[in-house]
Amino acid sequence: MTLVFTPRYAGYAAAVRASFERQGVLMAWGAELLEVAPGTVVLRLPFSDRVTQQQGFFHGGVVASLADSAGGYAAMTMLDEGLEIVSVEYKVNFLAPAVGDELIATGTLVRAGKRLLVSTAEVDVVRGGDMRPCALLQQTLAPSVPAGASSAS
Amino acid sequence: MTLVFTPRYAGYAAAVRASFERQGVLMAWGAELLEVAPGTVVLRLPFSDRVTQQQGFFHGGVVASLADSAGGYAAMTMLDEGLEIVSVEYKVNFLAPAVGDELIATGTLVRAGKRLLVSTAEVDVVRGGDMRPCALLQQTLAPSVPAGASSAS
Amino acid sequence: MTLVFTPRYAGYAAAVRASFERQGVLMAWGAELLEVAPGTVVLRLPFSDRVTQQQGFFHGGVVASLADSAGGYAAMTMLDEGLEIVSVEYKVNFLAPAVGDELIATGTLVRAGKRLLVSTAEVDVVRGGDMRPCALLQQTLAPSVPAGASSAS
Amino acid sequence: MTLVFTPRYAGYAAAVRASFERQGVLMAWGAELLEVAPGTVVLRLPFSDRVTQQQGFFHGGVVASLADSAGGYAAMTMLDEGLEIVSVEYKVNFLAPAVGDELIATGTLVRAGKRLLVSTAEVDVVRGGDMRPCALLQQTLAPSVPAGASSAS
């Protein structure tokens, strides 16, 4: 399916960026926000010893977290002003060992309901000049009022 | 279902512990291995600014990573000597905001096939003296030969 | 986790039964409602050539549908009067080939939020006097107003 | 990601068709195989009272079964001669109520490993001349030797 999304307010990209920069775990890993467009967000994560599993590759949980964030922010581009996004649930398949210099996660919104949104995300691992898919995620998200202990359910 | 598992060799718990300690991301977060028993593993993660999302709670990706590790190591207790475990895929539901002092993840093996294993994991968040479920995970795992770039598929 | 649920009205079991009997696909398969209790529902499905896959076993989609219905109705026991339940999404693992005379699906509610609920379901296949797990499901559900084309999102 | 798949033998499409026609549940529903190409399979399911849920729409379990079959057969196009495909697990999101005259499920292979394959599937519901997405599935599959009680694990 090919979908066209029209954001609800001009500052949607700035809101995504501000939220991204408050994520302690992504900041600790050195993640970067490469692109924010309506229904699409691209993130980058460089390799370091803070993101490895027992064999020295990118950890699956790190790969999934980056995918979850990319898909979540893709959904956030379609929220009303002042709302944050929270993940209700997600499912991730690991397609290949994440061995390389950096991860690129591309999140894509596929359904923007009022109470629930659905995104997918693909993660590619870059090694030398080569780029290959290493994970695929599908997730359910919900809008959340940011102040206080709001819940996904 | 209630299942009883008999490990294949005496050193299964030491193997889990050695693998756990080589996980860069879990070490960077300060995760601890509380319990290793046949088909069951319990992990602990203290709160810090290295594991937060944009509202200052435990990040969903961190919660899921801990659950993935607990379920994965629960499965590893039933592998033959010399094998590691890799996650093929997982699905996680977030049940409540992870606001608290520490996370406790309990992984439980539910199916030990030769080529594929299935585990579930529950994560509880501890706040003051109170403990409540915050995430539920279901995952597929595969045995992996640790040396070199072995793949889940 | 062990949870105790208190239904919102006396007729919750009758409402589940009435909804179950309007499900064309379950009726066509000959499914039965064995038990309705707060947060728990048990369904039974006898083998027939209407529910097989290419090797003559119970079809995975049938197994998953029964699990989805069991988990969904387990959630419905906790809704307010007049509400139906809809599945937002689910994930199912097949643990063993579903070869046998009947399936027993047990749905269990694990989280009852106002807008979203989470259930798990286990399906066992019965062959002769033997009963073994063949599928495990984890799902997200939402309350729905039954009249008209209400949506999960 | 855009992938190009080259089948292992000329009769791959005939093998998919033969397997499809042995699926009792799909035959009972009147499902049709519209297209078989390397890494892609399209199925069609007409509306009837054998496939409904309690509100008279297509049942979610039916929608998911069709998606599972489309994704599974998309994977089967890449197997060696003589092998069947089995679903290890899947996850499905329901995007909109499946109200309409027929379902079209398109399965797409995204990863063809030796022991595990990963597919996605989209289901669209057709109503009058209109076609809209109603479900999205992501699944793990494994090759299976068809004779006897082969297992996904």
Confidence (pTM): 0.94
Query: What's the rounded mean pLDDT across residues C88-109?
Result: 97
Q: What angle do CA A23, A28, A34 make, to 5 degrees?
A: 65
> Are the C-beta atoms of residues A119 and A108 closer than 8 Å to each other?
yes
Q: In what order do the strands lie in the sheet with C32-37?
A: C32-37, C40-46, C102-112, C117-127, C130-144, C84-94, D84-94, D130-144, D117-127, D102-112, D40-46, D32-37
Query: Between the CA of residue B39 and those of B4, B42, B138, what are the distances in Å?
Result: 8, 11, 14
Calpha distance A136→A67 (Å, rounded): 8
Whether B138 and C93 lie within 8 Å, measured CB to CB: yes
Whether A94 and B89 lie within 8 Å, measured CB to CB: yes
Which residues of chain B lie closer than 8 angstroms to A55, CB-CB? 22, 84, 146
Residue B63: Cβ-neighbour burial (10 angstroms; 0-12, 13-18, 19+): buried
Q: Which amino acid is at A37?
A: A
pLDDT class of B56 with cuts at 50, 70, 90: confident
Which residues of chain B lie closer than 8 angstroms to C96, CB-CB? 111
Residue C23: Cβ-neighbour burial (10 angstroms; 0-12, 13-18, 19+): buried
Distance of CA C96 to the CA centre of its chain: 19
Which residues of chain D lie closer than 8 angstroms to A110, CB-CB? 95, 133, 136
Q: What angle do CA A143, A147, A149 make, to 5 degrees?
A: 80
How many other CB atoms sit within 10 Å of the CB of residue D19?
20
Any chains having at least 3 CB pairs less than 8 A from chain C are A, B, D
Closest CA to B70 of B46, B39, B30: B39
How many other CB atoms sit within 10 Å of the CB of residue C41?
29
pLDDT class of C54 with cuts at 50, 70, 90: confident
Whether A91 and B89 lie within 8 Å, measured CB to CB: yes
Calpha distance B128→B126 (Å, rounded): 7
**Which pLDDT tens digit goes with each residue over A15-61?**
999 999 998 899 999 999 999 999 999 999 999 988 988 788 999 99
pLDDT class of D15 with cuts at 50, 70, 90: very high
From D1, D96, D124, residue closest to A122, measured CB to CB: D1
Whether D149 and C62 lie within 8 Å, measured CB to CB: no
Rounding to the nearest 10 degrees, give the CA dihedral for residues B51, A19, C140, C75. Answer: 90
Of A134-148, B13-27, C132-146, the one with minimum mean pLDDT is A134-148
Number of CB pairs, chain C paired with chain D, less than 8 A apart = 139
Q: CA of A69: which chain B residue's CA is closest?
A: B61
List the CATH code of the domain at A12-144. Answer: 3.10.129.10
Whether D153 and B111 lie within 8 Å, measured CB to CB: yes
Calpha distance C133→C126 (Å, rounded): 9
Q: Is D9 helix (H, G, I), strand (E, B) or coil?
A: coil
Any chains having at least 3 CB pairs less than 8 A from chain A are B, C, D
pLDDT class of D147 with cuts at 50, 70, 90: low
Shortest Cα–Cα distance, C109 to chain A (Å): 14
Q: CA of D15: which chain C residue's CA is closest?
A: C54
Query: Between the CA of residue C152 and those of A113, C76, D67, what are the distances in Å?
Result: 9, 14, 18
> Are the C-beta atoms of residues B93 and C116 closer than 8 Å to each other?
no
**Which pLDDT tens digit goes with each residue over D109-143?**
999 999 999 999 999 999 998 999 999 999 999 99
From D113, D118, D151, residue closest to B113, measured CB to CB: D151
* Three-state helix/strand/coil letters over B75-101: HHCCCCCCCEEEEEEEEEEECCCCCCC
Calpha distance A27→A100 (Å, rounded): 20
Closest CA to D75 of D35, D105, D116, D44: D116
Mutate to test the interface with C, among D83, D87, D103 (most CBs of C within 10 A): D87
Whether B118 and D151 lie within 8 Å, measured CB to CB: no
Calpha distance C63→C92 (Å, rounded): 9
pLDDT at B145 over 90: no
Note the pLDDT of residue C145: 87
Whether B110 and C95 lie within 8 Å, measured CB to CB: yes
**Which pLDDT tens digit goes with each residue over D19-31?**
999 988 999 999 9
- In the DSSP assignment, the letter for residue C58 is B
Whether C115 and A113 lie within 8 Å, measured CB to CB: no
**Which pLDDT tens digit goes with each residue over D60-100?**
999 999 999 999 999 999 999 999 999 999 999 999 999 99
Whether D152 and C59 lie within 8 Å, measured CB to CB: no
Long-range contacts of C143-148 (CB under 8 A, 24+ apart): C143/C79, C143/C80, C143/C83, C143/C84, C143/C85, C143/C86, C143/C115, C143/C117, C144/C83, C144/C84, C144/C85, C144/C86, C145/C82, C145/C83, C145/C84, C146/C82, C146/C83, C146/C84, C146/D54, C146/D55
Could you tell me where the DSSP H helices lie in C8-120? 12-21, 24-29, 60-76
Calpha distance B136→B64 (Å, rounded): 8
Domain ranges of chain A: 12-144
pLDDT class of D1 with cuts at 50, 70, 90: low
Of C4-13, D42-51, D53-62, D125-134, the one with minimum mean pLDDT is D53-62
Which residues of chain C lie closer than 8 angstroms to B93, CB-CB? 111, 118, 138, 140
What are the structure tokens assigned to C29, written together? 């398969």
Any chains having at least 3 CB pairs less than 8 A from chain D are A, B, C
**Look-up: residue for tokens 């002003």?**
A81
Q: CA of C89: which chain A residue's CA is closest?
A: A140
Whether B99 and A59 lie within 8 Å, measured CB to CB: no
Which residues of chain C lie closer than 8 angstroms to A142, CB-CB? 115-116
Whether A111 and D122 lie within 8 Å, measured CB to CB: no
From D93, D122, D140, residue closest to A1, measured CB to CB: D122
- Written as one string, the DSSP assignment of A33-76 is EEEEETTEEEEEEE--TTSB-TTSSBPHHHHHHHHHHHHHHHHH
Whether D111 and A120 lie within 8 Å, measured CB to CB: no
Could you tell me where the DSSP H helices lie in chain D? 12-21, 24-29, 60-76
Strand partners for C23: none
Calpha distance A112→A141 (Å, rounded): 9
Q: Is C85 helix (H, G, I), strand (E, B) or coil?
A: strand
pLDDT class of A153 with cuts at 50, 70, 90: very low
Q: Is B63 helix (H, G, I), strand (E, B) or coil?
A: helix
Which residues of chain A lie closer than 8 angstroms to D67, CB-CB? none
Whether C138 and B110 lie within 8 Å, measured CB to CB: no
> Which residues, including other chains, have CB under 8 Å from residue B14's CB and lie 6 or more apart?
none
The residues of B whose Cβ lies within 8 A of any Cβ of D are 88-89, 91, 111, 113-118, 140, 142, 151-153
> Which residues, including other chains, have CB under 8 Å from residue A127's CB and lie 6 or more apart?
A99, A100, A101
Mutate to test the interface with C, among D66, D89, D125, D137 (most CBs of C within 10 A): D89
What are the structure tokens assigned to A65, written together? 């977290």
Number of CB pairs, chain A paired with chain B, less than 8 A apart = 138
pLDDT at C28 over 70: yes
> Which residues, including other chains, have CB under 8 Å from residue C18's CB and lie 6 or more apart?
none
